[in-house]
Structure 1
């Protein structure tokens, strides 16, 4: 088969021949239709993701849309120990797949499911988020952050504070459902103070940044809360600004802060898969929108590093 093949963590994948994987018990070989280039995929292809085992060559891709032998199209999340989904064919565990309705666009599903899943699962599986509550999305100008704004609105959030750096994408967030938009550009402490003022009494935080923004925003928010005992669920999902923070111990004692993660391991595979059908329904209905940029898999080497417009997600497609 042909695939996007990573032979060096320092170079983009190349379109090349690769041995067709052989299904183990409980797996089926499927024809790939589309696979999204998510930040999780990029970090895996560069060997920097926390699940990377350092083995090369490898095929990137963690999910996608495929066609089964009977013609049914499905969205699926790949097992961790199989070749990735950016190939003509891939291995699929039926327990990690859900059928797609006829109206589903494979490129849109491949583009949207991974970034949408992060906040959808966080708000539905990690905490008991209720309509009328409020949320801060830290790192809202990334694709996952933009989807998180839409998902918070869809789940009934009364107040959505969206904070991010990219000025072009910040301008888009009010139209997606953000009630307050805060720039993280400029002086970090001033930006954190502005976020603290806007998000003082939110119920939950979806954090895609970690690093310095989180380190500064956490005390800025807690210091301004009208009621320190009111729970604040801080859900750590991404680390665009750094993998570590320093947090004074008194911050945890002085307020009801509950820090947790949401991702592989903190939510079971079965729990994630259980959320997929309702998320797919939202995408097919157009309640949630995603700007997919489909590109033939054969062009992976040049497309991998090419710039894309704000809000768009690259999707590699095959002719299957």
Structure 2
């Protein structure tokens, strides 16, 4: 069937609103279902996929981007779905979903809010429930807490029972807003490496878990600052690497791993099975739907996707594409 979609024909150009042929789902495959798209979040992961720079990119063009969304089935039921790698992406008027990667939404759920919040919330939700299950009263450090996903991580850590949450970031205005979201302390990441290290040592030396959206040099410096300040270096510090906003690589002295009980692991596609992610969807949908997680949204028309793609993001606001 012919639809309209955000079509990427070159990794050097934003998606264009164009007609696109969507293959009909195989009637014999009950797990594939056509849905009318209601809302799709324009997440950083979507942008990296459309540019071919994400580690999962296969380089094939043309493509329709998107990693998740909200759609309406033929019976009228609204569903949240995670896009399947072997299907056309969801930034379109219609798409085909794998029903095994979807969950029905409760009556009255806001499609824009669900589409905006699920992706940035999912990383911390899965990290603190599946990778390193957070124990009640444990303390959490969020590196990069002023980004959308980091702000979610602060809220999620508190919702999951963290006794203390420390948020870090460079944007001072957004850093100042974190206590209102549940942060017990904040640390500004500044150009003064020594001052930043001292502030981290003072605020986060005894944390149990780190949720890291930065990587690169800021993560390396934070890691050393925290480890060196711990009263008991044999006490476990679980470091969960999720994003790489500050750089894709890290330089870390080997002594950091030998002189402390540092347990480093990642959270993302490949580190957690699809089945595990899907199992977390209902509880996260419920959390977002009942207002437990704050997020600001901006809905934009699918027809304007090329213009919207090149506009700077408003800090703290998640753009959502609606047909």
Q: Pick the TM interval, shorter chain.
A: over 0.9
Alignment of 1:4-83 (within 5 A): 4-24=6-26, 25=29, 26-83=31-88
Residue 23 (structure 1) shift: 2.0
Matched, 1:304 2:309: yes
Partner SS for 1:223: helix
Kindly provide the CA deviation profile for residues 209-246 of structure 1, in whole angstroms up to 9, marking residues without a partner as x. 00011111111100000111111100000000111111
Matched, 1:182 2:182: no
8 A contact 1:193–1:217 mirrored in 2? no
Q: How many residues align?
A: 318
Distance 1:27 1:272 in 2: 19
Distance 2:272 2:193 in 1: 32
Residue 90 (structure 1) shift: 1.2
Matched, 1:130 2:135: yes
8 A contact 1:182–1:194 mirrored in 2? yes
Question: Unmatched 5+ residue regions in structure 1?
Answer: none
Partner SS for 1:196: helix
Matched, 1:167 2:169: no
Question: Unmatched 5+ residue regions in structure 2?
Answer: none
Partner SS for 1:60: coil
TM-score (norm 2): 0.96
Partner SS for 1:175: helix
Matched, 1:143 2:157: no
8 A contact 2:164–2:183 mirrored in 1? yes
Residue 254 (structure 1) shift: 0.7
**Mean Cα displacement is larger for which, 130-139 or 79-88?**
79-88
8 A contact 1:44–1:52 mirrored in 2? yes
Q: CA RMSD in A?
A: 1.1
Matched, 1:102 2:107: yes
Aligned to 2:122: 117
Aligned to 1:294: 299
